[in-house]
Amino acid sequence: MAVPDAASGVACIPQLLDSDVFIETTGTGPDLVLLHGWGMHGGIFRPLREQLESRWTVHIVDLPGHGRSRQIAMPETPADLAAGLLARLPRAVWLGWSLGALVAQQAAISAPDRVPALAVLAGSPRFVVADDWPHAVDAAVFKLFAQDLAQDWRGTVERFLALEVVGSAHAQDELRDLRAQAFDHGEPSSQVLARGLEWLEQTDLRAALPMLHMPSLWIGGRRDRLVPAEALRAAAALAPRARERVIAGAGHAPFLHHSALIAQALDELAGAADDDGGGAAA
């Protein structure tokens, strides 16, 4: 049964799918999937959801081990998680933020007929540096977080949140928002947090990007210290129909203060998918 959201008045339909993986569906229009980042949950997308739900049907996933899916184990790989979600979600544009961007990219790579367009928000095909990929952070960053996780998982999450806002013009406000919402639906699983760090450290999807023949958008903040703007440009150069958009003044969580701009960019992305004939809503 549809339940109206207290803030917006728009009907929200809670769904428990894939062994109780939580997906909240809200709004009306073409289907759009939102995947959050490490240590968070789908509720963090509220500013963006409020911009989108008047013209999109938005499916907001709490990834396994996070939020209202916190009792569920994370699959072994981003590909496994993408496959499970693809089987239970409608054909849709996918947007992934940070860790969620790895899953969204994998969904588009694995099932291009189910993903008419892809949006990568503050994400990259590879999050750690390599000789041929300087647009990232040192692998030691994620290794250190993994070591600290075993001793003080809550402190580790809070340090990661602080890293996400470094450089943002709204850093203090964004850190307050992230900290306030991080544990809204309970504490994330430490085992799942560890696996997420492994994904961020080990995943490299660059070789598959030339197979992304749907429109794709690589959007992030100019001041992002985890995913530099150069990573967006380099990734977009690998995908045939990609474009990048860099938001001045934004850090790693641009949707907190730039949701209207991101929503507009998604509308433009849907238009590009419509030009293909199948469209975002087909």
Of the candidates 13, 23, 12, 115, the one whose C-alpha atom is nearest the C-alpha of residue 63 is 23
Check residue 10 and give its pLDDT: 41
Check residue 30 and give its pLDDT: 97
* CA 152/CA 109 separation, integer angstroms: 36
Q: Position 115: which residue type?
A: V
Binding-site positions: 38, 98-99, 252
Instruction: Judge contact between 13 and 26, C-beta under 8 A.
Output: yes
Within 8 A by CB and 6+ apart from 176, the residues are: none
DSSP symbol at 254: G
* CA 282/CA 277 separation, integer angstroms: 9
Check residue 150 and give its pLDDT: 82
Positions in the chain whose pLDDT score sits under 70: 1-19, 277-282
3 strand-pairing partners: 12
Instruction: Judge contact between 34 and 42, C-beta under 8 A.
Output: yes
Which pair of structure tokens corresponds to residue 143? 């290794």
* CA 48/CA 59 separation, integer angstroms: 12
Strand 57-61 with 242-247, pairing? unpaired
The Cα angle at residue 202 between residues 153 and 124, in degrees rounded to 5 = 95
Check residue 11 and give its pLDDT: 41
Binding-site positions for substrate: 38, 98-99, 252
Check residue 117 and give its pLDDT: 98
Check residue 176 and give its pLDDT: 87
Within 8 A by CB and 6+ apart from 120, the residues are: 95, 96, 101, 104, 105, 216, 217, 218, 219, 232, 235
The CATH number of 3-275 is: 3.40.50.1820
Check residue 115 and give its pLDDT: 98
Digit-coded pLDDT (tens) for 73-119:
899 999 999 999 999 999 999 999 999 999 999 999 999 999 999 99
* CA 250/CA 258 separation, integer angstroms: 8
Question: What amino acid positions are annotated as catalytic residues?
Answer: 98, 224, 252
